[in-house]
């Protein structure tokens, strides 16, 4: 049994300004993320790649920085893919955790709502989707061929309904990709303790 794991972290900082004449709080957003994409075991290798079509996106080895302000409800291009760079087919899953953090303490801020952090254009038909608390698991049903790519999402936004309780906090999207080999996949998947099992060649939800 082999396993490969990647981690991607997106940080979104929120600031506010008060419009004095209307006593209205207006929030806008800037974002920065980092990625760690190095992990290989044997001839299995899965990499997370990221890209953006935003004209203000500055892409570095540490991730993407969006330099222009954004309003709640604005979407930002950010494409997250898993690439099978090894030489064998793999079963993969994405593990996505969303949370609001206090930048000063480094802890999850109480009374915040991760659902205000929205990932866009996920093709749910490709995945077995399991949500536990603030974490969602996306199991790719079909094995990912050697050299193939799977896109999880292509953009994100902070919901229009985001409340003032989230101003000054960091929105974090943490993405981990796990993989096991397709060969002898029934036993390999079962050994992982995943929420799914192999049915024929595809992953299906395991009933409790």
pLDDT in tens, 29-71: 323 333 433 333 445 678 888 888 989 887 776 566 677 766 7
Q: Which of 5, 154, 178, 150 is nearest to 81 (CA)?
A: 150
Q: Cα–Cα distances in Å, from 166 out to 57, 64, 119?
A: 23, 22, 18
| Domain ranges for the chain | 4-181
Least confidently predicted of 1-10, 31-40, 74-83, 180-189: 31-40
* Tokens representing residue 27 in the block: 């929030």
* Tokens representing residue 207 in the block: 């009933």
* Tokens representing residue 151 in the block: 């896109």
> What are the φ and ψ backbone dihedral angles of 22, each rounded to 5 degrees?
-115, -5
- Please count the other Cβ atoms lying within 10 Å of the Cβ belonging to residue 15: 12
d(CA 155, CA 143): 24
**pTM value?**
0.77
């Amino acid at each position: 049994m082999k396993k490969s794991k990647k981690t991607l972290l997106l940080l979104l900082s929120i600031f506010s300004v008060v419009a004095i004449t209307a006593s209205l709080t207006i929030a806008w957003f800037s974002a920065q993320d980092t990625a760690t994409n190095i992990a290989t075991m044997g001839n299995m290798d899965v990499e997370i790649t990221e890209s953006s079509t935003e004209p203000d996106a500055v892409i570095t080895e540490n991730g993407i920085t969006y330099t222009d302000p954004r309003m709640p409800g604005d979407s930002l291009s950010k494409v997250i893919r898993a690439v099978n760079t090894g030489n064998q087919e793999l079963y993969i899953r994405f593990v996505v955790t969303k949370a609001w953090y206090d930048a000063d303490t480094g802890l999850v801020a109480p009374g915040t709502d991760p659902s205000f952090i929205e990932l866009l254009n996920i093709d749910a038909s490709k995945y077995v989707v399991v949500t536990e608390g603030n974490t969602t698991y996306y199991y790719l049903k079909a094995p990912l061929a050697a050299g193939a790519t799977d896109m999880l999402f292509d953009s994100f936004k902070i919901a229009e309904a985001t409340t003032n309780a989230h101003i000054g906090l960091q929105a974090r999207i943490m993405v981990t990709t796990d993989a096991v080999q397709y060969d002898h996949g029934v036993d390999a998947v079962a050994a992982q303790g995943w929420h799914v099992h192999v049915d024929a060649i595809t992953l299906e939800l395991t009933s409790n």
